[in-house]
Amino acid sequence: MDCALITGSSRGLGKAIAIQLAIDHGFYILINYSSNVQAAEETLEQIKNVGGNGELLQFNVHKKNEVDNALDHWFINNPDNFIRVLVNNAGITKDGLFMWMPEKDWDDVINVSSKGMFNVTQKIIQQMLRKRQGRIINIASLSGLKGVPGQTNYSAAKGAMIGGTKALAQEVAKRNITVNAVAPGFINSEMTEAFNKDEYIKMVPLNRFGNPEEVAHLVSFLASDKAAYITGEIININGGIYS
């Protein structure tokens, strides 16, 4: 059975991606979450409502022992299943001016996006390499391409993800594994609820925030056979804000 693992998929963008992959490809969805089991269960319920199926997979992406233990356990119990698609979506923001930023805010944001990508991808890619196929899709950000004042930690974390995407794509291309990143701009989600939308919308030529489902459709395309010749790319989806 072909599966898709989406980190941080209990809410927001990750949830939309999980549902879309179930609809478009029929993947068995592994819903990763860190603590909000109720939200994860709601995601699974919505996947079932559209005719899909899946299960919850709890671990904190930035803690390598948790990632290894959870995925080793899953592999042992699912010897005939293949995680064909990995979406590294988990991420957090702790915004603030760099000169006053606590070290913990820097470390936490870097660890979830950048170290989290390392932890999960290194474990999952082993099976992809053996089977000589797979799709890895990293959810980066406009912040990682353009740089956003007040988000030096987040820009650094997503910038690292972008560089890692380009390098890893070249390492595994001969095994028929593609590695791409999607860089959303301003998307309606819990992460942007506190934004002054009237001010930010002025920056967007399309004059609106994007919706999670629009990003999910792009991720779904990259997970498909139609995208087999696309790798090492960072694809913007930001309403026309180009870095």
pLDDT tens track for 159-170: 999 999 999 999
Please enumerate in sequence order all residues whose Cβ is within 8 A of that of 204, keeping only pairs 6 or more positions apart, or say none: 185, 186, 238, 239, 240, 241
Q: Which residues are catalytic?
A: 154
First CA to last CA distance, the chain = 40
Q: How far apart are CA 113 and CA 110, in angstroms?
A: 6
**Given the DSSP bridges, would you call strands 82-88 and 134-139 parallel, antiparallel or unpaired?**
parallel
pLDDT exceeding 90 applies to what percent of the chain? Answer: 79
Residue 4 pLDDT greater than 60, yes or no: yes
3-state secondary structure 62-106: CCHHHHHHHHHHHHHHCCCCEEEEEEECCCCCCCCCHHHCCHHHH
Is 204 in contact with 186 (CB distance < 8 Å)? Answer: yes
pTM of the model: 0.93
Q: How far apart are CA 156 and CA 109, in angstroms?
A: 9
Residue 35 pLDDT greater than 70, yes or no: yes
Residue 205, pLDDT score: 87
